[in-house]
Amino acid sequence: MHDVVVTQYGIVSPIGNSIPEFEQRMFAGESGIVDVRGSFVGKDFPVPFGAVVDDSAIPSAEELNIEPYTQTHGGRYSLYAFQQILDQLPKKLPIDGIVQGTPAGIFFEVVRHSLRNYNPDAFIWDEIRAEWVVEIIADRLKSSGHGDIPPQYQISVNSACAAGGQAIGMAYRFLQSGRMKRCLVTAVDAGAWESQLMNFHLLHTLTVDDLPAHAASRPFAKSRSGFVKGEAAAALLLETREAAEERGAEILAEVCGYAFNSDAYRLTDGREDNLCVVKAMEDAIADAGIEPGSIDYINAHGTSTQLNDRLETQAIKKVFGQDAYRIPVSSLKSQIGHPTVAAGAVEAIACMLMLQRQRIAPTINLTDPDPECDLDYVSEGCRDATLDFVLSNSFGFGGQNACLVFKRGNT
């Protein structure tokens, strides 16, 4: 079994479109949430908030040489995050695979089928597939001299809000087993537009409270009333430790534990007994070969919904017992909203930055603690800490649970 490390990453997010900007604003506790009415949506739209990317400095679809197939910017964001890695890669460094967390999948199949029935001559829809961004990235790796990735290792996964974590976990398993030496992971969701916001609004999951935008996402607060839909993209290069050390790469963090399961309980609600969430955390910690007490920090899924935050708090207590009150917890979604499919990958980068800097990013807006959410949520601002192992949780609709354990790169 091979150790698996992360050597490079890139990001597009509501608080920065580069790692230095994202890091600075994350530790400063800044919010990337804005009022979208009158700009992204109509002035009388029922959902007031979104965590949107400032894409003014991101190249256009034309400049990136991609077709603007849809009204989303997912292709642009994915390629821009990927480009941040590509620009740093040594020439002709072979990449063996790509795993992408995508919001597409069955959605594209349904749309394509419906439109083909409506207009059989609209052949362009036969060219749209969930994996088209992966294929573009594979082509660009090939043209840049980084190898020809076979189709079976150009993988797209959609496990809702767990997809970013699952994509990292799948790459981790490929590398751990020796099937690959290097694997690129990408995840993207650029869905802060009318139809997506309305979809989540009809599920009663988004906050519509009358308050300043920066205070809209408030995980673990008594007054929390739903999440804020966000958008983001992340790219990470995973390597076996041997491959990284052979080329003298800087090791940013180690991926040392992973677990994924699904309870298929309900479309949106989690199980009240937390059975599968608890097991996912326990299995990821066991996979890392450590005891629960070795975890120094938990990056919570922390969506700011009444149900999720209460159940996640209960699950943490079941896994860690009295230790749960010792371990700092925070939710990045208080700052960037919930970028759904991309969340696990963006939060993985956040965890690695925390490991490198030995600092914990805060849970902002937690001014009225919920008595049922009584853990240490780092609400006072950025906190210095000794961090060797961190746990990151990602829980998706349909009961899909991905948990990752990251280790400090030099330990």
Active site residues: 161, 301, 338
Cβ contact 297:386 at 8 Å: no
Chain-centroid distance of CA 105 in Å reads: 17
174 dihedral zone (left: phi>0; alpha: psi -120 to 50; beta): alpha
Residue 44 and residue 198 in contact, taking contact as beta carbons nearer than 8 Å:
no
Cα gap 342→11, rounded to integer Å:
10
Q: Cα dihedral angle (283, 180, 131, 342), rounded to 10 degrees?
A: 40
Instruction: Give me 25's structure tokens.
Output: 């604003």
How far is it, in rounded angstroms, from Cα 156 to Cα 146? Answer: 20
Which token pair is 91? Answer: 């020439």
CA 335 – CA 200 distance, rounded (Å): 19
Q: Looking only at Cα atoms, what is the longest distance across the chain?
A: 63
- Token duo for residue 231: 């958008």
Q: Can you tell me whether residue 269 is helix, strand or coil?
A: coil
Asked if residue 405 lies in contact with residue 391, where contact means CB atoms within 8 angstroms, the answer is yes
Tokens 């919001």, located at residue: 103
Evaluate whether 216 touches 209 at the Cβ level (below 8 Å).
yes
Nearest in space to 75 (alpha carbons), one of 157, 153, 190, 197: 190
Q: How far apart are CA 139 and CA 240, in angstroms?
A: 23
Q: From edge to edge, which strands make up the β-sheet containing 297-299?
A: 154-157, 97-101, 182-190, 231-240, 4-12, 253-262, 400-408, 389-396, 297-299, 329-330
Q: What whole-number distance in Å separates Cα of residue 346 and Cα of residue 295? A: 20
Selection from 6, 349, 346, 11 nearest residue 175 by Cα:
6
